[in-house]
Amino acid sequence: MSKKKSNLVTKHYMCPICNSTHKIKISKDIINGRTNFPFPYVILHNSIKNNEFKEVLTILYIDKDLQIRSTEIQELRDDNLFSKAQVVGMTQSLMEENSRLREDVEELTKKLNKLKSK
């Protein structure tokens, strides 16, 4: 087992569509630079129920203590307001922004350490 310090926190939320509790890992970095809480965290997951494949859109509202305040969960259907492609696109761009911000933080941390060591 690795003893590497994890930057992830494990959270649980109840999903009425799967009728079960899901586990997700959230990076602690996602609250960095945010001023408005709770903020929405969008995820998509697949559900197979009665041999029926479904995609589930989940929006978790996360507060500054990384607690899930509320959830919005809905099945993606063809008659939804957004198409699947749009939802996946939105989700992806959010994720990309998250990882971009994380990279920025890493970059700044590196620079800071370099300055400190001078």
Which residues sit at the interface with Zn ion, rule CB under 5 A?
15, 18, 47, 56
Of 47 and 74, the one with the shorter C-beta distance to Zn ion is 47
Q: How far is the CB of 60 from Zn ion (least distance, A)?
A: 12
Q: How far is the CB of 73 from Zn ion (least distance, A)?
A: 7
Q: State the residue for tokens 């009425």.
A: 16
Of 2 and 21, the one with the shorter C-beta distance to Zn ion is 21
Q: How far is the CB of 14 from Zn ion (least distance, A)?
A: 9
Of 18 and 76, the one with the shorter C-beta distance to Zn ion is 18
DSSP result, 38-100: SEEEEEEEEEEETTEEEEEEEEEEE-TTS-EEEEEEEE--TTSSS-HHHHHHHHHHHHHHHHH
Cα dist from 16 to 57, 58, 63, 75, whole Å? 12, 11, 22, 10
Of 56 and 62, the one with the shorter C-beta distance to Zn ion is 56
Strand order in the sheet with 68-75: 39-49, 52-62, 68-75
Q: How far is the CB of 18 from Zn ion (least distance, A)?
A: 3
